[in-house]
Structures are given as C-alpha cells and as structure tokens.
C-alpha cells in the first residue's frame, strides 16, 4: 500500500486551504469516544437472575458468538479497541455488575461489583462511563420506574440511581478522569394519557432526590437522556426532550441527545450549537435510526458528518461528550463496534480538515455560492488518504484490513462459544 505517498499528496491539497493536518491529528488523538459495552452481548448483562430485555428497546438478529460472561465481553472489547485509533472510554450499564454468583438487586449495587471492570480499564488505559439500568427488571414490568404511581417502586429506582452515581464517582476517582452517569428511563404510555402532568411531576421529584445525594461532581458528571417514543410507549414518554432540557438547565445537569430519539427529520446536529449557548457541556448517544429508533450501526452518513462538523467548527471538542448507542445482533458484534466507532472518528477528522473559519466567513458575507460550491467540493477531497495515515500513525489497521482480524477472531474465538 502507498499510505505515505498518498498522504503526502493529500496533505498538500488541504494545506492549500491553510489546514494543518498535523494539528488535526493532534486534536483528534485527544478525543475519547465512549464505546457502549452492550453491543457485545445484545444488552443482556450478567445478572444472576437475568431478565428478558424490556423497556421498549429491541435487538434483532442471532449472529453467533455473543459474549456470555464478563471475560468474553472484555476480550471482545479489547479486540475492537485494537482496531480503533485512539484512547477511549467504555460505557457500562448496571446490569454488567459482577456479583460472584450472589443475587444483588439493583438498589444494592456498589462500586465493588465493578472492581474487575476498573482493574481492566486501568490495564488498558481506558476511562469508564456508567448507566443505571431501569429496564429488564420485575419492578419495571409495567414500563414505569421513576414516575411510577407507587412510591415503593419509585424509591427502589431512586436508590438504584443514587448507587449508580456513586459507581460513577468511583470510576472517576480510580481512573483519573470523570465518568458520565446517564439516566435513561423507559417510562411512558402506549395510548393517549388522560394526565401528562402528574407523571412528569413525579419524575421531577425523583430526579431531585437522586441528585440530592452527595456525589463529587469533579469525578462524576450527571446526564439525563430524553426520548420521543418507545415500543409500548408510542403515545407518551414522560422524559421528553422538553422535560429534560428544562430539568438539565435548571439543575446544571447535562442533556444527553440520542440521535434516534427525535422525529425522523429532526436532526441532533442542529441542536448542538443551540444547547451549548446555555449549557457548558452536553452528551451524545450517536446511533442510526432507520424508520424508527432502530439503533443501527453508525455509518458515515450526512448526519454523522454534520455532527462532527458542529462539534469541530464550534470548538466544542471538550464540551461534547461523545458516546455511541447502537446494537445490531445480525452481524459480527466486534465488527459492529469497529465500524461504528471508526466512523465516529472519521466524521471528526473530516471536520478537522475543513477550512471552517473561511467557510464561516463566506456565510457572513452572504456568499452562498462559494459556500455551497466549496462544501460540496471538499466532500471528494482525498480524505481517505489522510484517514489511512492517521490509522497507520496510531498503530491500527489501515482501510478494510481490520476485517481480516475480526474474521480471524471469529474463527478462533467467537464461533467456539456456540
């Protein structure tokens, strides 16, 4: 392959626009993507009394080789991470606790149940993020948790979320970088509610209780994730966008925007600049909705590129905590992680290679002809040659050569799990 040669030629074309490729690489190297562990086992988790997936989300496909225990999941993550340039974070859910065969209910999980994950993260130079799991549990069977009319049920989930924030704090302390603990709940109704307000009042009170618990905010950052609808909550979701946007702003929490949680033509890329005027930070779950919140593997499509552009040209690399949230069980799961995460990084590199200040200036001057012409021409600049060089410099496979490694791993490891 002619990686270096192609790169040198490509570089000149970007330099002609005053873009420093080295500077782009330096910035990109410092971006940690939060890679969701749940792509590796179809959001199964390792609870002793594991429940069927609920909460109005769904994973389809039965590709062989899914991880069935923590060791396998960590090995699969290591494989994927070896194919992805950069140093990243792994995003855990409470159901990935390791309790040594003991039944520990969700309200009783503790940092010690995640000690193996922390040890592993240290060994691999990774950060960790966290999510309480308010689904796949008997106390979430009717699709209501923090907004439940029954106080005992609400209290159970409040305790779970408080414990989760403590686990985030523990990750932050142990790993020397703050953890993001994100609350997403499935609460909603299948059919037209007769009262939209009361459940939202209860959710607000529950969140107040959760965040009243003393957790060091330099170690754990709280986020709240909204949603438009789910399976079984088509008519109404308690934690809607406006609900959490209001809550986050009033309480200095992070809004987490999942790209699958809006109306089909509503774009998360368009929300980033608006929210960052009123919040210091925000968080993302980058996913790919196909006709609904289907959580397809992230591809380098227009919206992903636009998200990368909004983060980069608004100087928001340190303000946007980028996480991924897709789950596809119809393809090799290690490949799914690799494809989605490499694409997320590509979108940032693409944005870092544009003369963003010049393009902004064109707009200010009302020169929409040049703006459109250049933005379109840059799409076919030799971006691939720069990406290949980045992979080479970062010591990960160039182009599709990573796929052979996944196939080898499938043959040697994944298939044997059957």
Residue with tokens 């950060």: 127
Q: What is the DSSP letter of 94?
A: G
Active site residue 76: no
Q: Which residues pair with 182 in a beta bridge?
A: 223
Q: How far apart are CA 136 and CA 140, in angstroms?
A: 7
Active site residue 152: no
Active site residue 184: yes
User: Is residue 285 at the binding interface for Zn ion, with CB under 5 A as the rule?
Assistant: yes
Active site residue 258: yes
Residue 88 counted as an annotated binding residue: no
Q: How far apart are CA 3 and CA 270, in angstroms?
A: 35
| Helices 115-124, 151-175: crossing angle, 10 deg rounding | 30
| Residue from 28, 31, 43, 345 in contact with ligand RNT (CB under 6 A) | 43
CB of 184 to Zn ion, least distance (A): 6
Question: Which residue is catalytic, options 47, 225, 303, 410?
Answer: 225
Q: Which residues, numbered 295-354, are part of the site for Zn ion (CB under 5 A)? A: 325
CB-facing half-sphere around the CA of 28: CA atoms within 13 A: 29
Q: Let me know: does 69 contact 37? Beta carbons within 8 Å.
A: no
Part in contact with Zn ion (CB under 5 A); list of ranges 7-15, 114-122, 196-204, 277-285: 277-285
- Between 51 and 80, how does the x/- string for binding to ligand RNT read (CB under 6 A)? ------x-----------------------
Q: Which residues, numbered 298-327, are part of the site for ligand RNT (CB under 6 A)? A: 325
CB of 21 to ligand RNT, least distance (A): 35
Q: How far apart are CA 386 and CA 14, in angstroms?
A: 10
286: number of Cβ within 10 Å: 27
CB of 55 to Zn ion, least distance (A): 11
Residue 295 counted as an annotated binding residue: yes
Q: Which residue is nearest to ligand RNT (CB)?
A: 184
Nearer to ligand RNT, 38 or 350 (CB): 38
Task: Name which of 88, 23, 17, 31 is nearest 352 in CA terms.
Answer: 23
Question: Which residue is catalytic, options 258, 310, 388, 410?
Answer: 258
Backbone angles phi, psi at 249, to 5 degrees: -70, -40
Q: Which residues, numbered 121-150, are part of the site for ligand RNT (CB under 6 A)? A: 131
Active site residue 47: no
User: Is residue 227 at the binding interface for ligand RNT, with CB under 6 A as the rule?
Assistant: yes
Inter-CA distances, 228 with 221, 253, 273, 349, 381, Å: 24, 20, 21, 31, 37
Q: How far apart are CA 25 and CA 391, in angstroms?
A: 10
Show which residues are catalytic: 184, 225, 227, 258, 261, 285, 293, 295, 325
Q: Which residues would be at the binding site for ligand RNT (CB under 6 A)?
A: 38, 43, 57, 131, 184, 225, 227, 258, 285, 293, 325
Binding-site sequence positions for Mn(2+): 261, 293, 295
């Amino acid at each position: 392959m002619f990686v270096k040669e192609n790169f040198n030629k490509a570089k000149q074309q970007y330099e002609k626009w005053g873009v420093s490729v080295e500077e782009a690489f330096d910035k990109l190297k410092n971006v940690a993507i939060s890679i969701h562990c749940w792509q590796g086992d179809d959001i199964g988790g390792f609870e002793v009394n594991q429940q069927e997936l609920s909460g109005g989300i769904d994973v389809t496909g039965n590709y062989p080789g899914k991880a069935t225990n923590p060791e396998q999941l960590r090995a699969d993550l290591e494989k994927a991470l070896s194919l992805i340039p950069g140093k990243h974070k792994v995003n855990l859910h409470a159901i990935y606790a390791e309790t040594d065969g003991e039944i520990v209910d969700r309200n009783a999980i503790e940092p010690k149940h995640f000690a193996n994950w922390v040890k592993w993260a240290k060994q691999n130079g990774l950060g960790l993020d966290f999510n309480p799991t308010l689904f796949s549990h008997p106390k979430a069977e009717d699709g209501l948790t923090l907004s439940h009319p029954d106080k005992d049920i609400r209290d159970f989930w409040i305790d779970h979320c408080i414990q989760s924030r403590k686990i985030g704090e523990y990750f932050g302390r142990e790993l020397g970088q703050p953890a993001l603990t994100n609350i997403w709940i499935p609460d909603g109704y299948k059919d037209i509610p007769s009262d939209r307000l009361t459940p939202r009042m209860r959710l607000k009170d529950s969140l107040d209780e959760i965040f009243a618990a003393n957790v060091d905010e330099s170690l754990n950052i709280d986020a709240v994730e909204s949603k438009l609808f789910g399976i079984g909550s088509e008519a109404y979701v308690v934690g809607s966008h406006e609900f959490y946007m209001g809550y986050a702003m009033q309480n200095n929490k992070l809004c987490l925007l999942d790209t699958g949680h809006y109306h089909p033509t509503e774009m998360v890329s368009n929300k980033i600049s608006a929210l960052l005027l009123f919040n210091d930070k925000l968080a993302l779950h980058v996913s790919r909705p196909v006709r609904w919140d289907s959580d397809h593997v992230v591809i380098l499509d227009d919206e992903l590129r636009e998200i990368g552009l909004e983060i980069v040209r608004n100087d928001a690399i340190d303000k946007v905590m980028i996480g991924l949230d897709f789950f596809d069980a119809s393809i090799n799961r290690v490949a799914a992680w690799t494809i989605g995460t490499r694409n997320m990084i590509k979108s940032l590199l693409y944005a870092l290679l544009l003369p963003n200040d010049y393009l902004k200036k064109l707009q200010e001057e009302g020169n929409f002809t040049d703006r459109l012409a250049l933005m379109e021409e840059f799409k076919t600049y030799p971006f691939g040659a720069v990406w290949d060089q980045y992979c080479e410099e970062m010591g990960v496979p160039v182009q599709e050569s990573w796929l052979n490694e996944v196939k080898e791993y499938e043959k040697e490891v994944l298939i044997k799990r059957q």
